[in-house]
Amino acid sequence: MKFRDLHRQYEAMKAEIDDAMASVVESGAFIMGEPVRELEMQLADYVGVRHCITCASGTDALRLALMAWGIGEGAAVFVPDFTFFATAEAVALQGAMPIFVDVDPVTYNIDPEDLVRKYRMVTERGDLRPVAVVAVDLFGLPFDYESVSKFCRDHELYLLEDGAQGFGGICRGRKACSLGDIGTTSFFPSKPLGCYGDGGALFTDDDEWAAKLRSLRQHGRGADKYDNVSVGLNSRLDTLQAAILNVKLRHLDDELRMMDRIAGYYSDHLCGQVITPSVPDGYRSVWAQYTIQHCYRDALARSLAEKGIPTAVYYPRTMSRQAAFANIRYLQEVNPVALRLADTVVSLPMHPYLSEQEQEAIVAAMF
Ligand SMILES: *Cc1c(COP(=O)(O)O)cnc(C)c1O
């Protein structure tokens, strides 16, 4: 059994994917070919925003957004303490200070109340300028858009949505990746919409930022290839990856429905025994992970492994406990919910092609 079985997905779409890849190879347009433009139109349409700008990874997407806003030294950027490293790494790499905010014990997403506390602590010290919040759609569930976006508007902060795990999710009728001033996603193979390598994208309704992002992803390009108006990155999505994503996007909504059924099966059979994920009313999760909490997490994972069932721990260490950030701990913050989650979470196999027999075997092996 596989934790996320990408081969079964390939089997299901093999003819279409093979065709799409062959036509890119035939065309020879490996960089910024027609499938890239087509994908950007389809993705913008799916998410419901004016602009989609593809790039080389979800990490680059975060960096490019911060670059477009001119965020660097002297800026404080609020990020959840419980997330994948890249969320905070992109902030630090731009020279800004990541401020680690605790997460909500039910949704695992950034806690709007702790955001208020951390904002106050930063303004009281007074040597950094608060400029942005990065809110993550962790494990596929969109963040608390209403509270966080109101806070950002009231305090004139940019809101960046890290939708690397959230593409396809919904929050009160709005699609994930449209919830921030800029939204980003990742096409890493195991993400909800994954390609066959690295890839990412940015989403925004703002025409000026979109133009800036298109320039920054190609070395800060100006009027032509050898006119450079700013210092940017080489961060384009390969045409081959775009062609693969054009196929997979057509199947995404079916796959999301399949995963919803599997999540429902898990939750029906596991609730009361372990803490199962909860999806608030008006939200749709895309089940980037099906993550439970268990006080003997390591023992449970070992016993499942002995029965041939793979699990994974996302994430065993909070951002504020990462060695990489040991020297830039601005608030010396202690975030109790994030710390507890790092000790208790474990994710079960989850992908659209998990068979009924496999689902039954997993549930049976839990007890
Ligand atoms: C995967 C991920 C990223 C980084 O995406 P890459 O494409 O691997 O660079 C950023 N943030 C979160 C929350 C992620 O899960």
Confidence of residue 59 (pLDDT cuts 50, 70, 90): very high
Instruction: Show the tokens assigned to 94.
Output: 């731009």
* 0.95 surpassed by pTM: yes
Whether 330 shows a pLDDT value over 90: the answer reads no
Residues 172-200: what's their mean pLDDT? 98
pLDDT digits (tens, 9 = 90+) for 66-92: 999 999 999 999 999 999 999 999 999
Confidence of residue 275 (pLDDT cuts 50, 70, 90): very high
* pLDDT for residue 329: 78
| Residue with the larger pLDDT of the pair 328 and 285 | 285
Q: Ligand 1 centroid vs 194 CA: distance in angstroms? A: 11
Pocket of ligand 1 (CB under 6 A): 57-59, 83-84, 86-87, 136, 162, 164-165, 186, 188, 198, 200
pLDDT digits (tens, 9 = 90+) for 120-141: 999 999 999 999 999 999 999 9
Closest CA to 343 of 319, 314, 367: 314
What does the alpha-carbon distance between residue 284 and residue 54 come to, in Å, rounded to a whole number? 24
Residues 223-236: what's their mean pLDDT? 95
pLDDT digits (tens, 9 = 90+) for 287-300: 999 999 999 999 99
Per mean pLDDT, which range of 244-248, 255-259, 325-329 is the poorest?
325-329
Percent of the residues in the chain that have a pLDDT greater than 90, as a whole number: 97
Residues 99-104: what's their mean pLDDT? 98
Whether 158 shows a pLDDT value over 90: the answer reads yes
What mean pLDDT value characterizes the chain?
97
Q: Ligand 1 centroid vs 360 CA: distance in angstroms? A: 31
Half-sphere exposure of 226 (CA within 13 A, CB side): 0
Look at residue 255 and give its three-state secondary structure. Answer: helix
* pLDDT for residue 328: 83
> Which atom of ligand 1 is the closest one to the Cα of 288?
15
Q: Ligand 1 centroid vs 361 CA: distance in angstroms? A: 30
Q: Residue 19, exposed/middle/buried by CB under 10 A (0-12, 13-18, 19+)?
A: exposed
* pLDDT for residue 331: 84
The count of other CB atoms within 10 Å of the CB of residue 184 is 33
Residues 308-331: what's their mean pLDDT? 94
Percent of the residues in the chain that have a pLDDT greater than 70, as a whole number: 100
**Mutation probe of ligand 1 site: the residue of 59, 82, 287 with most atoms within 8 A of C-beta:** 59
Residues 299-316: what's their mean pLDDT? 98
Q: Report whether 270 contacts 366 (CB < 8 A).
A: yes
Residues 103-109: what's their mean pLDDT? 98
* pLDDT for residue 333: 83
Residues 35-57: what's their mean pLDDT? 98
The count of other CB atoms within 10 Å of the CB of residue 37 is 13
